[in-house]
Structure 1
């Protein structure tokens, strides 16, 4: 029992169908009506690829022709034969898609491409397939691509046109085709001439190529039969050095031929490849033709027909090498030409080719023999039955050949010989290519149509009757979004989703404020507690005390920098000459460039925009020697043990002075973030109106408002700075004492370590070889000779304590000022700001609104181009729907025909009484 055989979409045979189909019936008594359907070569057909052994006798071929005639007369056709009734419509549909200019919008359309070396018989093959006679000895159809379309018709007609995909520009030397630039607009198709007489085609194609090679001249000047063409012909005949404007062109001559007995085909014939130019003017020709061939060969949906002359070694084919380089062998079918001129030395090479031992192609090879120089057909005048007689001559050659004849060593390949066989294969394979590509093309067209629609939706609305409503709606949406931004509400990002918390303005500003706080803490003054030189002890810079953190490693990683690098005055004397503390570090270490090189990477991550030179202004800020000199300077005569408040104030104010630098960074970064976020909100709300006056003016007004707050805020922040830097003042006495005591405790610890280190440097180890043992067991009486410098430590603790108190207060007031003066004020400032600026509360608000959203020329042109493309895509969808309807009809007819054939077969075998037909079931079961 067997199921009814079915087809895939668009009439493509299933693998099961393919296995059941043979291109040649096994016996003459059984005839399958759909046996002419070609096997899907992409799945590997033994019959087609290897040319399975056939009886080569004339009697068998006669019977084959009889079966073909019977099949053609039969009303029962199936598979691709049903689709074949509409092959011309399919090919015309593909050409219509091509003419619409969709190559930039969809995947490569299906096409056949004929390529080959010069003198490979390619032009003769093209003429035989298309049943046309090409100009001989004139080089016609070899200097530009030719697109030839053939179809069945009662009367012979031919339309020749010029397809311009490139513009001529002698200034352009880049790209694969020097002097040619690809057009950005749709393909230009210029009708050239329509003829009804075959004998005229040779002349028409000759002059069509001349028109292609002279792009700066009007193509109508070269149409045969016109006065201008006749004058041009006289000039060319009278001048041996008459040159065309260009030697080769990537533009295409389109030749649409309809006539009796023609196969339904559409293919491109490309200039033959060659390596050696004939003259200096053709020096760029080989590369040009190679690039042109590669352009077409690389098309994913191109079936490549590679013509190879058998009078040459198959290994020397330039074209085959290009195909290999493009990795297109799996889309290539070989056509061997000139079999009568094969040299004996190459016999074994082609024997290996036929036996699939070398030069293997998935589609295999065909062989054709066109009339040669010794043929009577070429010696006699061209007649209307030339191609019929050429086919007979070709068939006679293969029948009588000692290689291809019935007893020849290549007789098993006879079924793949002859122009008719090539025509049939190409016609059916091209239809399969079209049908297989339709779903992908439809998908691509639909995707492009969706993209174009999205772009159009992103353009401003053009309904001016609602202009005021549109403008007010957008401006109100902006005010709400801006207020939400400053309030910390998450807004949507460009992709429509909610922004992450770390992307919000409030989060960014909070992080910036924390870094500002940490920066001032890092800048606090530090003291070097080692002995001054006057004690006769070598100073040790490593005893510098870091009061920012208890982590000694952080302090050791910092670069040591003097206050002088920041132009800070430690002490001011009546004569204005500063007393600078001695610093144990080298002066060049204090240079900003040196400090930048010493900044650890982790500090950049921690402090962000504040990772600058001023970050180290507190390093080595005070030394005991500095404080001794300061105390002495400010102590009056006869005032022992009196420490003037002046020295404390001078040191504190000097430590505060660098605050203006991180303050400037904080202010600038705050408004940079604010400006970016607010304008981003405006861009999102008015994304459809970016090319209108509404967006440009709104951006100006918003920028002006932000700049206004920027100026006010800058002034207020530096007022706060000037207050802190003018004089010392605090009512928070408990806080001050706490900071001072904490600093003093750390300074005392550091001073003791310095005294111990100084004592160890004076002790001779002798039998005491363990220095660490001495350090642990040192007694206070051992350190008596090394001063405590308690007075100096008290002053340093005062300076550090007040700095930290003022630092905390300053950070709070600065951030509070920004929050109130700018952020809270701007929340209210955006409300109705733009409406007032645009005067939308005036009587002529409708006219103002229309003016704000009117299109500029650039926007109008963009809309026009999108609408043109959309129209093309709509036309393409209509064409594709027509193809779907066409193939669906063919598939249904094919299935119905197959049912009838199978029922007839069952009746002939006496099964009629056992057939069970189920009206509601798609299948037909045969009882065993």
Structure 2
């Protein structure tokens, strides 16, 4: 059943949070392999303060040891709830050249670990990260998914990407640099991805690699928000330029800028808690000569969380109708392609059916050849002017006209008999010529029919059991292609069921 493409369909969801949960369910079943889903991705250089920002938003102290910095995408699914519960799991990745996003994430269920409190998260992430490193994946496309519900958490889903790097250590693979860039570009290029570009305030922000990449992927700046970190490290005298940037006066972007001051490395070393860090941030912006003049909605982690929730909700609201449309379109294409490929030739019935099709096709092709050959001989025997091959009245009249009966005077009965005799003689003269032409042609037709029967017999004689087996042997590529399409259809059908079960139907009228 085709999902109705109705822009008011999702108005029946009880809240924006229901829409976010729906998107998370669609992502969980793997729909993002084939259809882009709305999301928020956090990107920046390795030293941009990205991890501290995510820690402040989620309440989780992410691993910061040099050997265990972010090495793969980490998705955070946060939900506000009365009590805490959560889990961490690993989602494997493989390249899919036929998908719209170029990616294929599938949940193997391995390494799924339940969480009892926020304090369990760092250890679980470290364990999975170490597993990837032990596998030789210094940078991995596999994804760690952290799903948490708790009283201090916002209703927000976002994905943290490995930081862009310019140099590698002595014993590290140089391919890390292009691999991270390719990963970041893959996320940036998706039109339904909101880009959080994290840039430190103590560098030339206009020339940072992450902002340049974001501008290439999002030239109009409609889906990029720049989060400016480390504002406490801005050089004296440079504050006004940063202040104007935060007010979106320079390098304008539709979603604008936001300033934060997360825990510094010194505070992390001292063991400053996330809560204390947020308290210090509020005090800093409230007292600073320049930053206190900023509108309150443009600074602070708490305000940023609220902005991101709104941005994600708007993105989901705009994208869901298009997602439904793409599900229907891609499902129709996949079903048509599977129908063209046909069923696997594994069962005896399928093999008989295929042999029957080949036999019918062979007969039809041979019959076409036979008809073409006969038509060619007919055209040679009967040129277009008289191709009908029949005795025409014109021919008879011409023959009659050439007959003279002299000056005899006959009775009416004799005259009629003579005229009939002459007419019959004329008809026989013309018909005999036609018959002489037809007889060789008939013989040629019989010879052609005999030739094609012999050719058909010889063709069938070579179709031994071995040959038939070879013909019925399906290529690995064809079988893999069918299985890929069946997997795609299965996922798209699941997505339809998830949507239909998530969207309440209107009450019937009685």
Confirm or deny a common fold (TM above 0.5). Answer: yes
Distance in 2 (CA, whole Å) between partners of 1:185 and 1:821 is: 65
Identify the residue that residue 337 of structure 1 maps to in structure 2. Answer: 229
Shift of 1:127: 0.9
Relative to structure 1, is the Cα distance of residues 83 and 280 closer, same or farther in structure 2, using a 3 angstrom cutoff?
A: same
Shift of 1:213: 1.6
TM-score by length of 1: 0.41
Query: Contact conserved, 1:129 with 1:423, CA < 8 A, in 2?
Result: yes
CA distance in 1, matches of 2:123, 2:247: 43
Q: Which residue does 2:8 correspond to in 1?
A: 9
1:165 counterpart SS class: strand
**Aligned mate of 1:879, from 485, 498, 501:** 498
Deviations, residues 775-806 of structure 1 (Å, cap 9, x unaligned): xxxxxxxxxxxxxxxxxxxxxxxxxxxxxxxx
User: How many residues are treated as equivalent by the alignment?
Assistant: 430
What residue in structure 2 maps to residue 812 of structure 1?
A: none
Secondary structure at the aligned position of 2:198 is classed as strand
SS at match of 1:151: strand
Q: What secondary structure does 1:281 align onto?
A: coil
Q: What pairs up with 1:629-648 in 2 under 5 angstroms?
A: none
Partners of 2:349 and 2:179 in 1: how far apart? 57
Which residue in the other structure is 2:16 paired with?
A: 84
Match runs of 1:439-838 below 5 Å: 439-458=321-340, 459-460=342-343, 475-476=359-360, 478-488=362-372, 824-826=449-451
Once the two structures are superposed, residues 572-608 of structure 1 have per-residue CA deviations (whole angstroms, 9 ceiling, x without a partner) of xxxxxxxxxxxxxxxxxxxxxxxxxxxxxxxxxxxxx
Q: Tell me, yes or no, if the aligned pair for 2:89 and 2:109 is still in contact at 8 Å.
A: yes
Given the alignment of the two structures, is residue 363 of structure 1 paired with residue 283 of structure 2, yes or no?
A: no
Q: Give the TM-score normalised by the residue count of structure 2.
A: 0.71
Aligned twin of 2:279: 392
1:817 to 1:325, Cα distance in 2 relative to 1, 3 A: farther
Aligned twin of 1:566: none
Separation (CA, whole Å) in 2 of partners of 1:152 and 1:439: 26
Residues 370, 390 of structure 1: 8 Å contact kept: yes
How many Å apart are 1:114 and its aligned residue? 0.4
**CA apart distance, 1:431:** 2.6
* Cα deviations by residue, 1:163-191 (Å, 9 ceiling, x for unpaired): 22149xxxxxxx9xxxxxx9989564533
Task: Give the conservation status (yes or no) of the 8 Å contact 1:162–1:212.
Answer: no
Q: Is 1:140–1:205's contact at 8 Å kept on the other side of the alignment? A: no
Displacement after TM superposition at 1:370 (Å): 1.7
Contact 1:11–1:83 at 8 Å: present in 2 too? no
Distance 2:173 2:354 in 1: 63
The 8 Å contact of residues 487 and 506 in structure 1, kept in 2 or not, is answered as: yes
**1:254 pairs with 137, 141, 145, which one?**
145
Counterpart residue number, 2:427: none
- When residues 185 and 265 of structure 1 are mapped into structure 2, their CA distance, relative to the original with a 3 A threshold, is closer
Tell me: CA distance 1:434–1:93, structure 2 relative to 1, closer, same or farther (3 Å): farther
Contact 1:404 1:414 (C-alpha < 8 Å) held by counterparts: no
Q: Secondary structure at the match of 2:167?
A: coil
In the alignment, structure 2 segments of 5+ residues that lack a partner are: 1-5, 381-440
Alpha-carbon offset, residue 113 of structure 1: 0.9
Structure 1 unmatched ranges of 5 or more: 1-6, 13-78, 168-174, 176-181, 216-244, 489-504, 514-815, 840-846, 893-928
Judged with a 3 Å threshold, the aligned counterparts in structure 2 of structure 1 residues 881 and 855 are, in CA distance, closer, same or farther, namely: farther
Using the TM superposition, give the Cα deviation of residue 154 of structure 1 relative to its aligned residue in structure 2, in angstroms.
2.5
**Cα deviation digits, residues 842-864 of structure 1 (max 9, x gap):** xxxxx99x989977585766655
1:417 to 277, 288, 299: 299
d(CA) in 2 for partners of 1:314, 1:83: 37
**Residue in structure 2 matched with residue 195 of structure 1 by the alignment:** 115
CA distance in 2 between partners of 1:354 and 1:861 (Å): 52
Question: Which whole-Å CA distance do the structure 2 matches of 1:262 and 1:486 have between them?
Answer: 79
Are positions 1:403 and 2:271 aligned together?
Answer: no
Task: State which of 306, 311, 317 in structure 1 corresponds to 2:202.
Answer: 311
Distance 1:421 1:184, change over 3 A: closer
Indicate the SS of the match to 2:168.
coil
Q: Which has more radius of gyration?
A: 1
Match of 1:207 among 127, 138, 152: 127
Contact 1:120 1:308 survives alignment (8 Å): yes
Q: CA RMSD in A?
A: 4.2
Match of 2:436 in 1: none
Tell me, in whole angstroms, the C-alpha distance in 1 between the residues paired with 2:284 and 2:15. 34
3-state DSSP class of the match of 2:181? helix
Q: CA deviation at 1:132?
A: 0.9
Q: In 1, are the aligned partners of 2:260 and 2:299 still within 8 Å (CA)?
A: yes
Give distance in 2, aligned partners of 1:399 and 1:455: 62
Distance 2:331 2:195 in 1: 31
Deviations along 1:511-560, whole A, 9 cap, x unmatched?
A: xx9xxxxxxxxxxxxxxxxxxxxxxxxxxxxxxxxxxxxxxxxxxxxxxx
C-alpha distance in structure 2 between counterparts of 1:867 and 1:817, whole Å: 55
Residue 140 of structure 1 aligns with which residue?
Answer: 68
Deviations 1:266-285 (A, max 9, x none): 22212222323343635444
Deviation of 1:819 (Å): 7.4
- Which secondary structure state, in structure 1, belongs to the residue aligned with residue 177 of structure 2? helix
Cα pair distance change 1:479/1:335, threshold 3 Å: same
Question: Which residue of 1 is the match for residue 190 of structure 2?
Answer: 299
